[in-house]
């Protein structure tokens, strides 16, 4: 017998107190059954802890034994809680593999886990982090639901299901902590006028301003740190009736960042509330129609396709800056689209791009 089983055996059920009381009163279990209006087997089950003391039974015991119902209710609650805690410890052995899937170091660094070692307590902390009752519900909510979407595993990385689930859950938690207006599709679309001004000027607080504009339209925009073995660059989905866009800090340059934002925004505006879009980090091609629609939406929103017609035959970086000014965008957007269209080599114009640093806004969320 294990130590946990020994503890279960030693745990005193409320029935012990019932037995002690009737013995003190010189009452048999049969008499107690008659006075309670229960069968002797039922009373025996109460005494052995096989039968739960309900509120009704507690009130009956108060009348028969003279001990307040509140005492019996509390005694029962404490016993069942201790029993469940011991059962959870016993279940820990079969939960070890699940715990091994979780990015423990990341969860600790973000303050979601406090336990120092892998233990039943850490399992409980992980379950509380995810807001699920057991690893079985975790799999149903975060794995089965999302594996049926367009998420593609990266060939360059070994995707961790735990890392993916952690990424998604952090987005939900941050969303719940945000002050959001009710979602308004028109307000969100209209906000692009201001957002494109931010694209063009790219101020130091671009991320904070973007979050505020999205929130005013009822869209939750969350920036999440990189999760090991989860090569995700962005997610667009609806959570509890709220559109949620989640972006990582994997972006190195502003052209990539803004394209990714408008790509996810396109999913929110163009596609259904039940759709879930998880974009992989390597940016490899996806033939999904909805992904193509989101790509086209992002490109057209950032820079009209006709810009290509205004390019001189032998253009310079100065020409690209001129085009950017004309279309009120950042030169990096022009460079990025030309590189995508293979009109210029990927080595051309990179000095027009700006490096992205989301560490400040991510630290504020941690």
Q: Average pLDDT by consecutive 10-residue portion of the chain (366 residues)?
A: 71 93 95 95 94 95 96 95 84 84 91 86 92 92 72 48 91 95 97 97 94 98 87 90 91 89 97 88 65 94 89 86 93 92 85 88 65
Q: Residue 267: how many CB atoms within 10 A of its CB?
A: 26
Angle at 241 between CA 235 and CA 245, to 5 degrees: 20
CATH 1.10.260.40 in the chain is located at: 3-93
Pull the structure tokens for residue 118: 């892998």
* Other beta carbons less than 10 A from residue 45's beta carbon: 15
User: What is the pLDDT at residue 271?
Assistant: 95
CATH level 3 topology of 3-93: 434 Repressor (Amino-terminal Domain) (1.10.260)
pLDDT number for residue 349: 83
Q: Smallest Cα–Cα separation from 211: which of 178, 239, 184?
A: 178
Exposure string over 2-39, b if 16+ CB within 10 A, otherwise e: eebeeebeeeebbbebbbebbeeeeeebeebbebbebe
pLDDT of residue 334: 93
pLDDT, residue 157, reads 42
Q: Check residue 282 and give its pLDDT.
A: 58
pLDDT at 230: 79
Distance CA 26, CA 32 (A): 10
Per-residue confidence (pLDDT) for residue 155, from 0 to 100 = 38
75 Rama class: left (phi>0) / alpha (psi -120 to 50) / beta: alpha
């Amino acid at each position: 017998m294990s130590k946990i089983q020994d503890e279960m055996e030693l745990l005193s059920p409320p029935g012990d107190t019932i037995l002690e009381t009737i013995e003190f009163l010189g009452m048999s279990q049969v008499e107690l059954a008659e006075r309670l209006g229960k069968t002797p087997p039922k009373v025996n089950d109460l005494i052995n802890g096989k039968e739960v003391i309900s509120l009704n039974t507690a009130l009956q015991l108060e009348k028969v034994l003279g001990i307040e119902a509140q005492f019996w209710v509390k005694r029962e609650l404490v016993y069942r809680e201790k029993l469940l805690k011991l059962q959870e410890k016993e279940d820990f052995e079969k939960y070890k593999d699940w715990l091994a899937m979780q990015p423990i170091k990341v969860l600790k660094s973000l303050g979601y886990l406090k336990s120092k070692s892998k233990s039943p307590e850490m399992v409980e902390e992980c379950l509380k982090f995810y807001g699920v009752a057991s690893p079985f519900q975790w799999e149903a909510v975060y794995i089965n639901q999302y594996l049926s979407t367009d998420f593609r595993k990266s060939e360059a990385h070994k995707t961790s299901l735990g890392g993916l689930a952690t990424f998604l859950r952090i987005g939900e938690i941050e969303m719940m902590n945000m002050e959001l207006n009710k979602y308004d599709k028109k307000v969100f679309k209209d906000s692009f006028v201001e957002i494109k001004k931010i694209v063009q000027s790219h101020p130091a607080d671009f991320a904070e301003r973007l979050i505020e504009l999205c929130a005013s339209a009822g869209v939750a925009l969350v920036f999440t740190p990189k999760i090991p073995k989860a090569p995700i660059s962005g997610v667009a989905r609806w959570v509890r009736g709220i559109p949620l866009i989640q972006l990582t800090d994997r972006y190195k340059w502003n052209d990539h960042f803004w394209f990714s934002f408008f790509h996810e925004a396109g999913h929110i505006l163009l596609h259904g509330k039940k759709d879930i879009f998880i974009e992989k980090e390597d940016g490899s091609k996806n033939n999904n129609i909805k992904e193509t629609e989101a790509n086209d939406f992002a490109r057209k929103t950032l820079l009209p396709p006709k810009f290509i017609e205004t390019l001189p035959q032998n253009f310079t970086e100065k020409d690209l800056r001129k085009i950017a000014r004309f279309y009120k965008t950042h030169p990096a957007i022009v460079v990025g689209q030309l590189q995508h269209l293979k009109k210029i080599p990927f080595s051309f114009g990179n000095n027009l791009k700006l490096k992205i640093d989301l560490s400040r806004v991510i630290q504020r969320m941690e």
